[in-house]
């Protein structure tokens, strides 16, 4: 972790939890809170400049993902922060913009989740899916497509994998930390 990849914006510094891994090629700027056991993989860009980003325990943000927020305005007084819960796996090259993700979610590679979207707990989002602004994805389902549609209820094995994926990435980041 280098000093230059974690920077303040207007005097607000990222807040870093315990036992985290941030790849030196990633950039975190401004009002960002990383909880414990978070991993930020290569080439992630996270800008908490015009609103805040909060990332929950044991969540992993994979290579090339972009995290951003929506500014506050007269028509949207709170703007849209980016809130990500616990045990979330964000696949490679995802775009999360001013949305809220609950706990135990897998966001497939290349997915885009737009402003004001709410993803409830225990959701699997297929690779390449687009979640439009202000869409809510209810708990317990696989969602796929552009725009996204509810495909079917999660199988027991898929529900179990949501938590296991987070555990796998905690173990992997611990290996990286120990190197």
Beta-carbon contacts of residue 136 (< 8 Å; ≥ 6 apart): 117, 118, 119, 120
Separation between Cα atoms, residue 30 and residue 5, nearest integer Å: 11
Mean pLDDT, residues 163-173: 97
Whether the pLDDT of residue 19 is over 70: the answer is yes
Whether the pLDDT of residue 5 is over 50: the answer is yes
Q: Could you tell me the pTM of the whole model?
A: 0.96
- The full set of domains in the chain, from first to last, is 3-178 (2.160.10.10)
Task: Give the pLDDT band (50/70/90) at residue 4.
Answer: confident
């Amino acid at each position: 972790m280098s000093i230059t990849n974690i920077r303040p914006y207007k005097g607000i510094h990222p807040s870093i939890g315990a036992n985290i891994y941030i790849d030196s090629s990633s950039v975190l700027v401004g009002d960002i809170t990383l909880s414990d056991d978070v991993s930020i993989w290569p080439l992630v860009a996270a800008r908490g400049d015009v609103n805040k980003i909060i990332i929950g325990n044991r969540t992993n943000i994979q290579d090339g993902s972009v995290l951003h927020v929506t500014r506050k305005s007269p028509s949207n007084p709170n703007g849209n922060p980016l809130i990500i819960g616990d045990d979330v796996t964000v696949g490679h090259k995802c775009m999360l913009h001013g949305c809220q993700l609950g706990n135990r979610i897998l966001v497939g590679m290349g997915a885009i989740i737009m402003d004001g979207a709410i993803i409830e707990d225990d959701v699997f989002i297929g690779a390449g899916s687009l979640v439009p602004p202000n869409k809510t994805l209810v708990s317990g389902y696989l969602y796929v497509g552009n725009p996204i549609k509810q495909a079917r209820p999660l199988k027991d094995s898929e529900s179990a994998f949501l938590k296991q994926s987070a555990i796998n990435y905690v173990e992997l980041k611990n290996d990286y930390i120990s190197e």
